[in-house]
A and B are shown apart, each in its own frame.
Chain A
Amino acid sequence: MKLSVVVGIVMLAAIPIAGQQPSTYKAPRTPDGQPDLQGFWTNSTYTPLERPDGVTKEFYTPEELAEVEKRAAARESEQTEPGTVADVHYDFSQFGLDNSQATLARSLRTSLIVDPPTGKMPPVTPEGRKRAADLAAARKALGNVNDAVQNMSNGGRCIIMGGSGPPLMDAGYNANYHIVQAPGYVMILTEMIHDARIIPLDGRPQPPSGLRQWMGVSRGRWEGETLVVETTNFNGRNPFRGSSENLKVIERFTRLADDAIQYRFTVEDPSTWEIPWTAEERLQHTEGPIFEHACHEGNYGIANTLAGARLEEKKAAEEAAAGGAK
């Protein structure tokens, strides 16, 4: 762990500032003439979506970023120390699940959000607040989280993870993507739960609103060097920061260099936020391949958690019965 921090500091001199506009770089072309975005990429980052309280500027200095990364790596290290709560689940350092051991998409930005200029999400509408409250109440009415698998989180159940997108977000680990292009199509495979999003580029319209999906339905087009992808038809069951099924995500992929793609996304959802907002990430080239993430198939955690909860209930009932008999 300490070694990783040292290596990180040595590399500071070369930190690219995500946010710089694509300059003269022109992406290589696929055989059919598309700008070539293919390969393995990661958006693993310590940069938070929203600007931390107390930070007022858009960019850190390299020295400040070094300090931020050092503290973040130390937090990851702490949670693997014996005696802490988090170490029960995984040893992050052993399985390479900590960001400091992975390829980092590094940026001097203090937040991924670039608009509003405050670096914070815009105010939530009254409708959005009511929906969040209704969801929380409905969730509570289901009972304890360990009563049944249906009460558990989407991610825990291996239905979908936060990073599958759109928009593509670092889900905490395995923040890796494989982009493959064919004539008329771009495919983005997210490592987590092997989620492949196939984006047609032929200008076809969005399907009728009857077809709603966890990841929505994406349509793409090239605007010069930039791949623009619009996604609607979400089912609203994997809300992005509280979004509704009316969410519309507009993504822009622009190759910045041989080893980097600028990734900007704008989120529109008048049912949730008063105004649209925009964030920017760097997709950093990383080494492949991506291995099969058979999440549901290997989900022993849920069976063990539920079995443990039933056992505890049984013990509690037996103890209550024994107490009553005395």
Chain B
Amino acid sequence: MTATLTAAALAVVIGQSATYRAPRTADGKPDLNGVWQALNTAHWDIEAHAAAPGAVPQLGASGAIPGGLGVVDGELPYKPEALAKKKENFANRLALDPEMRCYLPGVPRATYMPYPFQIIQSQKHIMLVHEFAGAVRTIYMDNHVDPPADSWMGWSNGRWEGESLVVDTRGFNDKTWFDRAGNFHSEALHVIERFTPRSPETLTYEVTIEDPNVFTRPWKMSMPLYRRVEKNAQLAEFRCVEYGEELVYGHLRKQSGK
């Protein structure tokens, strides 16, 4: 019942408006340029979730987890052993969540973290530049090749389908998560994203996730992305390496008196 309600709510919220036609760039493509940001709790947990205390009690209410409807259609189709690993990830998230260490956040997590990202749209290359960790994706619009090597942000080949930018990304490592709830994937991850303008200030972001090592079937997420409409909107530098270093190397610090 909960799952049904969630899906219905999503459909209402996102309301794909098939009639909207985006302004065009000079070369005639839908113009996706701008600073965009998700406005939901998917960065906490892409599944429906109740409010809960945070992992660090000292942060009080400011560190607590707000509840949310989730951005996926029903429950994630984990294989049994993978579901056990997801729960283990959550239990040990302070030590294991790559976000804590300022590692590149992976895809699609980068899109709905609570930070803006900017689309720089050109003909051959479309750049997605994220505020968090300065993560960068290059979407190759021509000269499509297989991923030359595994990487954190994957290798993205893009194409236009009507009003939508469709991005096919593979070549991931297995080190990134989907959210702070420990939802994860393997290096077999295959992500297909559709960015579709739905109004001058919003995009519909739809993602299909395939990973036969972790899930029993492909699954989808969907959410609106909002334009940062401030006249002077820009990404600020969030060079977070130094904020994660104590977690990575703190145990190797010289102890005083030794």
Contact = CB atoms under 8 A, between A and B. Distances in A.
Interface stretch (B59-67, B72-80, B145-153, B203-211): B145-153
A157 B104 CA distance: 15
A153 interface: no
A180 B138 CA distance: 10
Interface string B124-149: 11010100001110101000000011
A309 B122 contact: no
A291 B151 contact: yes
B33 A296 contact: no
B151 A294 contact: yes
A7 interface: no
A304 B231 CA distance: 47
A303 B237 CA distance: 26
B122 A303 contact: no
Q: Which of B232, B239, B244, B253 has the most CB of A within 10 A?
A: B239
Given A30-B122, A198-B234, A291-B148, A193 B248 contact: no
Contacts of A200: 234
A193 B122 CA distance: 22
A115 to B, nearest CB: 30
A123 B11 CA distance: 66
Contact of B151 (A198, A292, A310): A292
B249 A302 contact: yes
A150 B231 CA distance: 38
B122 A181 contact: yes
Given A198-B234, A204-B232, A297-B103, A183 B25 contact: yes
A53 interface: no
Nearest to A38: B122
B120 interface: yes
Contacts of A303: 248-249, 252
B136 A194 contact: yes
Interface of B: 25-27, 31, 33, 102-104, 118-125, 127, 129, 134-136, 138, 140, 148-149, 151-153, 175, 231-232, 234-237, 239, 241-242, 244-246, 248-249, 252-254, 258
Given A198-B118, A296-B241, A297-B152, 19 more contacts: A38-B122, A148-B254, A149-B246, A157-B241, A159-B242, A160-B239, A180-B120, A182-B33, A182-B119, A185-B33, A194-B136, A198-B120, A200-B234, A204-B232, A213-B237, A292-B153, A296-B103, A309-B254, A310-B254
